[in-house]
Amino acid sequence: MFHLRASAVISIFQVVLFVSICLWFRSVSYNHIGGRLGQVDFIVAYAITPLHLLMKLNFPLVLLWLPISYPLNYLFSILSPYRSVFITAGVLAFVAAAASVAWFWNFVMIEVHRRKRGDSLIRFSKRSVELLKVAGIATAGITAIAFAVWDGRRLLLLGEVNRWTLYWSSMVDAIVGGLFLAIWAAILIRVAIEDFRAVRRK
């Protein structure tokens, strides 16, 4: 039962972190737009950087969000003239995102526990489906590496261009965010290799 309690604690912590950073981002953005804060540098350093780190911490979940993010953006652009409907849709989307964070980390913790026992929540009986799953997980791991390299280089260049304002936040985003992505890449690629070996043994 310890792993169930650990799953619940980590899931709650991740949801609180998600909600806190999103609300902080919203607060800073609102105050900046209202002209009560300084330059754009402030919102980049103190709001966008934590949001970037949050996305990298939840990288596999962000990949799952991508297919629906563009239709949602289009929907919100249509609803923007209707303030009450727009706000309601935004709240529902935020609640759904927070719920997905809870689900994701609960899944991760349970999957870690089951894999220690040689089992998995995402193991399929059909060889073809299992191979597709392995290919998807491996692609996600490679994507994490590619994104870490590209984004790290972009952030370091941004830091050099804005040395006196955004340098420290770019470094934090590049190093800490790159570490999150590297960890996910290692985990995903290792899982893909283990599952591919299991398929070959069938």
Does the pLDDT at position 115 exceed 70? Answer: yes
Q: Are 100 and 55 spatial neighbours (Cβ–Cβ below 8 Å)? A: no
| pLDDT given at position 36 | 46
Tell which wins on pLDDT, 166 or 62: 62
Res 37: pLDDT: 43
Average pLDDT over every residue of 96-104: 95
pLDDT digits (tens, 9 = 90+) for 116-137: 888 888 888 888 899 999 999 9
- Chain centroid, CA 44 distance in Å: 18
Q: Hey, how many other C-beta atoms are within 10 angstroms of the C-beta on 71?
A: 9
Statement: residue 184 has pLDDT above 90: yes
pLDDT tens digits along 10-19:
999 999 999 9
Mean pLDDT of 86-90: 81
Q: Are 68 and 76 spatial neighbours (Cβ–Cβ below 8 Å)? A: no
Tokens 């939840």 sit at which residue? 58
Is the pLDDT confidence value at 34 over 60? no
Distance (Å, whole) CA 30 – CA 124 = 47
Q: What is the mean pLDDT of residues 84-90?
A: 81
pLDDT in tens, 60-74: 999 999 888 888 888
User: Which pLDDT value is given to residue 74?
Assistant: 80
Highest mean pLDDT: which range of 34-38, 156-160, 187-191: 187-191
pLDDT at residue number 193: 94
pLDDT confidence of residue 131: 93
Q: Which long-range contacts (CB under 8 A, 24 or more apart) does 11-16 make?
A: 11/101, 11/102, 11/103, 11/105, 11/106, 11/109, 12/102, 14/58, 14/101, 14/102, 14/104, 14/105, 15/98, 15/101, 15/102
Please tell me the pTM assigned to this model: 0.86
Amino acid sitting at position 102 = A
Which has more pLDDT, 79 or 32? 79
Q: Which residues of 4-31 are buried (b: 16+ CB within 10 A; e: fewer)?
A: eeebeeebeebbebbeebbeebeebeee
CA 49, 51, 57, 62: dihedral to nearest 10 degrees?
-130
